[in-house]
Amino acid sequence: MATKRAAKMTAFDRVKLARDAKRPHVKDFIEALCSDFEELHGDRLVNDDAAMVAGFGTMEEFKVLILGHRKGETVEENMSANFGMVNPDGYRKAMRLAKLAERFHNPIVTFVDTPGAYPGREAEERGQAEAIAKSLEFFSGLRTPIVVVVTGEGGSGGALAIAVGDRVLMMENAVYSVISPEGCAGILWRDGHQAPAAAAALKITAADLLELGAIDEVVDEPAGGAQKNRKAACAAVRKSVLKALRGLVKIPVDELVAMRYKKLRAYGNFYK
Can you give the pLDDT at residue 266?
A: 84
Can you give the pLDDT at residue 3?
A: 46
Calculate mean pLDDT across residues 49-55: 94
The model's confidence at residue 8, banded by pLDDT at 50, 70 and 90, is confident
Give yes or no for residue 71 having a pLDDT over 80. yes
% of the chain at pLDDT higher than 90: 82
The Cα–Cα gap between 191 and 193 comes to: 5
Q: Are 142 and 259 in contact (CB under 8 A)?
A: no
Give yes or no for residue 6 having a pLDDT over 80. no
The Cα–Cα gap between 240 and 269 comes to: 26
Considering only CA atoms, which of 27, 264, 258 is closest in space to residue 151? 27
Q: Enter the pTM of the model.
A: 0.92
Calculate mean pLDDT across residues 176-201: 93
R_g over Cα of the chain: 17
Single-letter amino acid, residue 10: T
Can you give the pLDDT at residue 1?
A: 47
Q: Which string of DSSP letters, residue by residue, matches 207-231? A: HHHHHHTS-SEEEP--TT-GGG-HH
The Cα–Cα gap between 23 and 18 comes to: 8
CATH architecture of the domain 4-263 equals Alpha-Beta Complex (3.90)
Q: Are 108 and 101 in contact (CB under 8 A)?
A: yes
Give yes or no for residue 215 having a pLDDT over 90. yes
Q: Provide the 10 A C-beta neighbour count for residue 149.
A: 28
Give yes or no for residue 271 having a pLDDT over 80. no
The model's confidence at residue 267, banded by pLDDT at 50, 70 and 90, is confident
Q: Are 238 and 244 in contact (CB under 8 A)?
A: no
Can you give the pLDDT at residue 259?
A: 96
Helices and strands counted in the chain (H then E)? 12, 8
Distance between alpha carbon 259 and the CA centroid of its chain, in Å?
20
The model's confidence at residue 272, banded by pLDDT at 50, 70 and 90, is low
What is the phi/psi pair of residue 130, to 5°? -65, -40
Can you give the pLDDT at residue 74?
A: 83
Calculate mean pLDDT across residues 7-33: 92
The partner residues of 149 in beta bridges, in order of sequence, read 111, 169
CA dihedral for 63, 65, 71, 76, sign (positive or negative) = positive
% of the chain at pLDDT higher than 70: 96
Least confident of 46-50, 64-68, 181-185: 46-50
Helix 195-202 and helix 181-188, axial crossing angle in degrees, nearest 10: 100
What is the phi/psi pair of residue 143, to 5°? -95, 60
* Digit-coded pLDDT (tens) for 95-145: 999 999 999 999 999 999 999 999 999 999 999 999 999 999 999 999 999
What is the phi/psi pair of residue 30, to 5°? -60, -45
Considering only CA atoms, which of 49, 59, 51 is closest in space to residue 26? 51
